[in-house]
Amino acid sequence: MTFGSLFSGIGGIDLGLERAGMTCKWQVEMDDFCQEILTKHWPDVPKHKDIKEVRNLPYVDLIAGGFPCQDVSVAGKQAGIQKETRSGLWFEFARIIRMVRPEYILVENVSGLLNNGMGVVLGELAQIGYDAEWQSIQACWFGAPHRRERIFIIAYSNSQRIKGVRQEKVCRQPFFSWCEGIRRVEGFRNRSDIPFPLIRRINDGVRNRVDNLGNAVVPQVAEYIGKAIINSNQCIQGTHDKTVRP
């Protein structure tokens, strides 16, 4: 499966999806520092800067990204998803979806989205022609020493063409039905007792400026979700390997 990355940041989602077995075809990221990181790790992947100027992207099976959270986060002014706000770049995300028409979409954002903008996101996806489901996932479920709770939305086409060709939707049962059992999955440490840090910007061995990129996604989470999508897609196509566990 192939994917395109919007609001790529330093490539947390991209790295996770690649670990799951997907191939990145293009990336869109405005920040110069993040562009340097992406160029280092994905030198051969075409890159674009301003999402508002992006046109004619090639088809991919999945579009993934976390649009700006400043206006939906409980830490901000909570202006919501408006076209004049930074979080309003969600509408550019939706424009790219309309242009590319992938089979799957992965959207990431802060937990504040649930109470401030989720209806806008789901409504836009439905209008374009996608069904969606979502789950709140904590990074500590995957062994990270912090909670970093994020909302992950998986959307998939509900077009009649897809339904006509692929009647068997048994493997497209809720992608997140397995999320509640993540803490018990073999190989992952249960770190649900980790509290939010009380001291910020301490010397934790992380290079300068990385602490400013606090919206980075833990790759292990994206990898786990990517495997679930691949597993579902294989099942729909009749090539599902039952030994592959999302």
Catalytic residues: 69
In whole angstroms, give the CA distance from residue 136 to residue 153.
Answer: 9
Structure tokens at 241: 């390997």
In whole angstroms, give the CA distance from residue 108 to residue 196.
Answer: 20
Alpha helices in 129-240, H assignment, sequence order: 160-165, 219-236
Closest among 162, 147, 132, 143 to 195, alpha carbons compared: 147
Closest among 242, 232, 245, 243 to 1, alpha carbons compared: 232
Q: Residue 227: how many CA atoms within 13 Å on its side-chain side? A: 16
Phi, psi of 74, deg, nearest 5: -70, -15
